[in-house]
Structure 1
Amino acid sequence: MRVLYLRPEGSDLPSVEGIDIVNISIFSVQCLQYDETSFRDIEGIAFTSVNAVRCFHNFEEIRHMRIFSIGPETAEELVKHGFNPVYPEKHTSRDLALLLLNSGLSSVVAFRSRRASQDMKEILSPLIDYREFYDYDLVLDQSKLSEVKELLQRCEIDVVVLTSSLIAKSVANFIKDCHKVVTIGPMTSTSLRTLRPELKFIESRVSSIKGTIDVLESLRGGDNFG
């Protein structure tokens, strides 16, 4: 089984026995400057992706704060810096926002992508002191996107794994009937459904790379779309 992942440059993917994983980085990560003084009076810090952690550089200044992550993979990146973050049972930005709301904190900053959705703002801003800093952006590589388009048009891929709404929006129109599709979670599924309502797909029960790997292993074992 040949599987196409479209992770940003620098993202890690596990190797899986019996599965040929092709990872084409159609996005590169560009770290951005952020205001290093405006979050020092904040009670909690949230990170919504691995790249948000990798582009952050004020770890010593947040040691006294409560730290949150969107899921286990982002948490693992924070553990490397000596933190033990809390994350929601479902690894979505909406569930992270609800976790923050129920944490008892009155002020929180989230470090996110410049292309982040508005869901956390909509949930938190009316109720607590909530701020967002965008410490990275994802830049589309048109040549890599053309490579993906050609690969999909030739039906040389068995399964396409969509790991973000942005990736889903970028490649949805290239997916054909010869491909099975796996989405990492509900927001990615919504983006795909909006663009290609006729496509069938499997949504990972856990919104993480590990969750998508579990889906692939079930497909390898002969499970079908249901």
Structure 2
Amino acid sequence: MRLLPLLLCGALLTGCASTPNNDPSGTWINQAAIDAAVESGRLREALTAYGPNLEWQVDPQRQQADYSNGFELAEGRLQALDEGRWQVTFYGDYKEQLQLQGAKLTQVASDYWPEQQFVRVPQTGEKLPLGSSFEQALYRSYLGGDWLIEEGLGQGGLVRFVPTGEVQGLPGAERYALCLAGDCAAMSGEHDSLWLQLGDQGQPWLFIHEGNQLRIFEAQNRAQFDEMPQYQPGPQRWLLKRR
């Protein structure tokens, strides 16, 4: 009867002595950017400091590695270099290198980007579109929980920002998206912005996230009619406080 416990102990010891997993496959997100955004409240500042790339999806079997920076999606060809290091070649023969260091995937500093760190997303059996894993993790950490409308339309009601992009309890909106990069960032300048949508109609808003308070302002366009919009904060529409 003692044989089975001995075999189990041997299996456990063998597992503990095995070499680290050097398989880079899976989805990796820029958790440092999320943590910085949560701590400071300043979304664009955090993404600029720790990005610009926000998510990698790596598939060694298909020799493919793709990334998202919140605006562009890039598909690359993956090639192993040596133990724990890979090269990714993109259209135009532009290259990046990835290195697995413990539980983190490092995008090595290059002529194009600084060094960036990524953590692997636990596998759930469902593969999300490129960029969605980062967005959902950001939304959950940055806007998660219940918010009370202290000022504005719907005062006294509760608002919840769902990680998949739905917003509940905010009058006139049923979906939202935080601006991560691209045209929306260029148009809002130094200000953080989000998109609120009801049905087929939506518009940009500017916001200030301070601790457990979220102030949402009308986005007023200061540009000429033939220029790219340049948004500045207008009247405050809502003041939300996280409970």
Q: How high is the TM-score relative to the length of structure 2?
A: 0.27
Structure (1/2) with the larger helix percentage? 1
Which is richer in strand?
Answer: 2
- Higher relative contact order at CA 8 Å, sep ≥6: structure 1 or structure 2? 1
The alignment's TM-score, normalised by the length of structure 1, stands at 0.29
